[in-house]
Structure 1
């Protein structure tokens, strides 16, 4: 258990925009920040962060909450893990009690896999640095690659003993279950036998964007034709290789800062670049690039520079990944190294200044690069040249932006010495073909399933829900403010005529709302709003200085989510950049007293109307039993509604 004062310190120190900024590229939008949703595939921002309220809202999925809720949702942390992550980020010492064996066993499967991976990561590092075999084989290999002690420790590099079950035996001895060792892929179980997957290999831990160990990559150091040179953890509940990029944890801040990401192929490429001084670099870990991996980069920057080895065959194979990047609407540059060189070897032989200069001078636009690679093979063969041009136009067709498409067509026409008209015609044919294929696929799916359309009834507006929600919003935003409230008091003239006379009273917003609701004995119909209402009133009574960001951290997850939904609803409209269109919405917080009076009076009118309808229903159902008292009540309620309507008109 983490001590309450440690949790309070974490919440007081952590800034939601700083934490989320590590995972999503945020841009200023008025007093807030906006960015692409990290929970869905989108091209226009629907994700909002409020530094003032210290909350976030994702309008594409409906998710929202405080800084801890983001980490729990995005990184699948438990509550204590999210607190520990924030404490580590902000260098806060946290006080906690040791977990018992029973508590450890109670952890769910996902957390158990993370625990096993964390233990393995520590174990492999210990073997590398503390054992003779680790130092003489593993450490020697890393140092031969040119890695410094500091770099080796920074990337948590390790070594697995060249013994069949050294790791497995040690892990079981420490209390980790064989079931989870097998599920992470660290241990291979065959019948009664079990052995270590990474036996005799140097280890590269693969981390999530927040630094959690998801799996491992292992490189063999002996010549064994039967064994793969590199071996990765198998797919598991926590490790999905198509959704992970090696080095993203160490690179994320540099990627956002430099607004560019270098994409390489191997683990050592990333590490060597990082050691040289270029930190905005990640690797697809030797697997084919996937859409999920590209979206991971897309959250941090729109610009990718793909770095290829000098070997031409490898470059051609990797060109396919560029189309995927273009489909995501990203800007792609490509840079290759001299023949026989790769990013690792080139970075090792050059200083930071030399490497930076080389990348700047040799990074080409993808059209120029693709044309130069393919053109060499086809310049003397008209048929091959035609295929090359079609290949390049096919890549251009993947770009969602129409203007970019046109610019690239013009560039391709210049490089390949062909008319723009021909290229535009080819582009139109490709687009038409793709449209036909999509339509064909749709028609097939339509035939496969019987689609039965039901007339959907028009959803009735729940007036009471809206008004109760508005009261909660006013309490959260302005509950502790003192305002001048105008009350209209009923007075009788000498002639016996009833008039509404205005009286100004100064009061706290929460006191005014509470007293008005009490006066008419009005109760909330929505149970969640009712609970929230009394919680807020109680907090405001206890503390004259009510802080929204502090309050949201003290309530449970469901209530925190509801508060976020209420508070961030209006922020949706700031995503449209109204100011750029010379539309300036009125700032919230103006005329609070009018807003309070209008909301309370509207609720009163609605409840009275409900009461009148209830009496009317009674008279219809029991015509023979209609009595004078019921009619009198209907008359009184109708008069009261008319009077309140006059008050409401005055407010409006």
Structure 2
């Protein structure tokens, strides 16, 4: 694991505007930077970067965070991958935490395998472009497929020489160990005579989402019937074919931005589509689609469009994959190409605009697809038609969302000319059967979900009643984040006897740190924030202030859980939305909050007190109305006392306040 010291150094060194500037064209806007959102299509800038706060906010998508959060959102890195990326960018040496000897050995093994695989990618690519054999055989093949030099470079395509041990000799000569050449499957050791697994093949590097080389696919170019046309790296500690999608590294940004992923079968399908301008495409690399591969796409989008040629085997494979995609709660469409065409050949001879038009107009919903394909088999056979309908309902039963299931049942009823009631009955049986198999707990999950939905709907109905409290609590978090460690002068009010022995109100000014003042004020009233997320952030902040002598926003953000960090970023960047409208350029200068920190704190706390007391008054009034025959003298007296208290709040705030409803 990466040590805390290294992570701290990365956060202290990385400048958010420099990191994001590598991916987004930023322009200065006062003390901030702004640009077009990298997460959506837009013409007006809604993306804001604050160097002073070390954070960014995309107002079009709602995303935000620090430099690591940006890399995780934009590049889809894991947290460790983002830290390593930044460490490399700023030349920071990565220090690993103490590990057991076994953990160190496993880490070293995996890292050595990655290094060997990266070397192989570079070797095969250079051989393709610079050796006579590579240019004559491999490069010529890719050119015949219509691939440009830019495309060849983008995918790191290469060539492994025909000689039995050309690559192995080169790798050993460069100091790479035979054990790692074997464990990655690049070299086969037999009777102390190691030889190359991929000799005489054009090479397709298979990369992870973060770009690390995991393995290779190699295509033979001769007519040797004994040799497999395509050969993949064997399973290893770094390569698991059921968890990998070819082209995911090149496609991830386009998939996330366009909110759709095209799924094809082969390497050249992916490369050809990319060259045609369709970048959001990946391949299962000749293996049957797996849940792990689907979940990989699910990190980027909920929508998959499967692309297949018109042969029966391909169509049957697509039908099997449909149910797996539906089970993951994703949306699936299927698009087939004309007879004799596959994604590679069709994209090669079709212009970009025509290809986009074809895909958009020929992608069918899975219900329509199954109906069109399987009806040809059923024809006028009622038994086969019944089996077809049952097959379609089975697919619908895989969908977790009940509303979507209902819609697809209606669609199936319309297409197959069968009553919804019959379909619903069949669906209910399937769902119940599955529920029984996984246990009583799961069978009750939908009922539980409905109960949650009722509670949720009731919360929505009453949302306007707590909206003011929400804003006040959010304001408290904002004040803590911006000024929590600042020391300000506050006015305390208390009662004591005057010179005449009468009880009177006195005021006294004292110095407090802002976080202390807020905490003591809420404790005094025995008030706890109502919003669970705000309450957790409040407690987290107070703990942080009490443990740290100084408050560094970037340091604080890096230790937060994702939900906390997202909310904190939203709060901090809310005011930066004004910068997008260039108010200062129009000679409008909002007053700085730093000028009135003490007043800001006092007003927020008093307003919250006033609002909470108002809620108590409303409860007392409602109890009086509901118990009209009872003695309500005590309740009336309490209402009068609370109204006096509200009057005192209004007086302290220096303005007459109308009641919130």
Class of the TM-score when normalised by the shorter of the 2 chains: 0.5 to 0.7
**TM-aligned CA distance change 1:287 to 1:188, over 3 Å:** same
State the match for 1:328 in structure 2.
Answer: 328
Deviation at 1:264, TM superposition (A): 0.6
> Which residue number in structure 2 is paired with residue 54 of structure 1?
66
Query: How far apart, in 2, do the equivalents of 1:66 and 1:361 lie?
Result: 35
Q: Which residue of 2 aligns with 1:548?
A: 553
What do the CA deviations read for 1:272-302 (whole angstroms, capped 9, x no partner)? Answer: 1111111111111111111222222222222
Aligned to 2:208: 208
Question: 2:182 matched to which residue of 1?
Answer: 182
Residues 1:234 and 1:490: Cα distance change in structure 2 (over 3 Å):
farther
Kindly tell me the number of residue pairs found equivalent between the two proteins.
497
Alignment of structure 1 residues 371-382 onto 2, 5 Å: 371-382=371-382
Q: Distance in 2 between matches of 1:565 and 1:361?
A: 39
- The verdict on how the C-alpha distance between 1:69 and 1:410 changes in structure 2, with shifts beyond 3 A counting, is closer
Q: What residue number does 1:369 align with? A: 369
Partner of 1:478: 483
What is residue 457 of structure 2 aligned with on the other side? none
**1:537 equivalent in structure 2:** 549
Partner SS state of residue 198, structure 1: coil
Q: Determine the structure 2 residue equivalent to 1:196.
A: 196
Q: Name the structure 2 match of 1:626.
A: none
SS of alignment partner, residue 215 of structure 2 = strand
Which deviates more from structure 2 when the two are superposed, residues 316-325 or residues 477-486? 477-486
2:601 corresponds to 1:592: yes
For residues 428 and 510 of structure 1, what CA distance do their matches in structure 2 show? 56
- Superposition pairs for residues 328-367 of structure 1, below 5 Å? 328-367=328-367
Determine whether 1:83 maps to 2:81. Answer: no
> TM-score by structure 2 length?
0.64
Is the alpha carbon distance of 1:531 and 1:227 closer, same or farther for their aligned partners in structure 2, counting shifts above 3 Å? farther
List per-residue Cα deviations over 1:307-360 (Å, max 9, x = no partner). Answer: 111212221132100011111222211111112211001111211122222222
| 1:438–1:162 Cα change, 3 Å | same
- Answer whether contact 2:76 2:210 (CA < 8 A) is retained: no
What's the CA shift string for 1:552-602, capped at 9, x where partnerless?
58xxxxxx42587866678999xxxxxxxxxxxxxxx996358999xxxxx
Partner of 2:143: 143
Q: 1:193 to 1:6 in 2, by over 3 A?
A: farther
Question: 1:258 aligns to what?
Answer: 258
SS at match of 2:175: coil
Partner of 2:121: 121
Distance 1:263 1:106, change over 3 A: closer
Q: 2:78 aligns with which of 62, 74, 80?
A: 74
Counterparts of 1:16-31 in structure 2 under 5 Å? none
Give the distance between the partners of 1:533 and 1:348, measured in 2 at CA.
61
The offset of 1:175, in angstroms, is 2.2
Aligned ranges for residues 508-523 of structure 1 at < 5 Å? 509=514
| Distance of aligned partners of 1:184 and 1:532 in 2 relative to their CA distance in 1, 3 Å threshold | farther
Q: Residue in 1 aligned with 2:559?
A: 561
Q: Does 1:14 align with 2:26?
A: no
Alpha carbons of structure 1 residues 148 and 222: separation in structure 2 relative to 1, 3 Å: same
Match of residue 578 from structure 2: none
- Separation of aligned partners in 1, 2:561 and 2:318: 47
In the other structure, the counterpart of 1:434 is: 434
* Partners of 1:82 and 1:179 in 2: CA distance: 31
Describe the shift of the 1:69–1:151 C-alpha distance in structure 2 as closer, same or farther (beyond 3 A). closer
Preserved CA contact (<8 Å) 2:518 2:601: no
Unaligned stretches of 5+ residues in structure 2: 1-5, 25-37, 49-60, 96-103, 444-475, 522-539, 572-596, 607-647, 653-661
What CA distance in whole angstroms lies between the structure 2 residues aligned with 1:285 and 1:144? 21
| Offset at residue 375 of structure 1 (A) | 0.9
Distance 1:313 1:530, change over 3 A: closer
Unaligned regions of 5+ residues in structure 1, if any? 34-47, 57-64, 88-93, 444-470, 517-527, 540-546, 554-559, 574-588, 598-648
Question: Measured at CA, do residues 68 and 253 of structure 1 come closer, stay the same or move farther in structure 2, by a change above 3 Å?
Answer: closer
Deviation at 1:530, TM superposition (A): 11
Spell out the pairing of 1:93-492 with structure 2 (5 A cutoff).
94=90, 108-190=108-190, 192-439=192-439, 476-479=481-484, 481=486, 483-487=488-492
Q: How many Å separate the matches in 1 of 2:298 and 2:94?
A: 40
TM superposition shift of 1:381: 2.0
- 1:503 aligns with 508
Residue 271 and residue 403 in structure 1: after superposition, are their counterparts in 2 closer, same or farther (change >3 A)? Answer: same
Cα drift, residue 220 of structure 1? 1.5
Q: CA deviation at 1:8?
A: 3.0
TM-score, with length taken from structure 1:
0.65
The CA deviation string for residues 440-489 of structure 1, in whole angstroms up to 9 with x for no partner, is 9999xxxxxxxxxxxxxxxxxxxxxxxxxxx9997654235564423357
Q: After alignment, is 123-132 or 248-257 more displaced?
A: 248-257
Judged with a 3 Å threshold, the aligned counterparts in structure 2 of structure 1 residues 11 and 117 are, in CA distance, closer, same or farther, namely farther
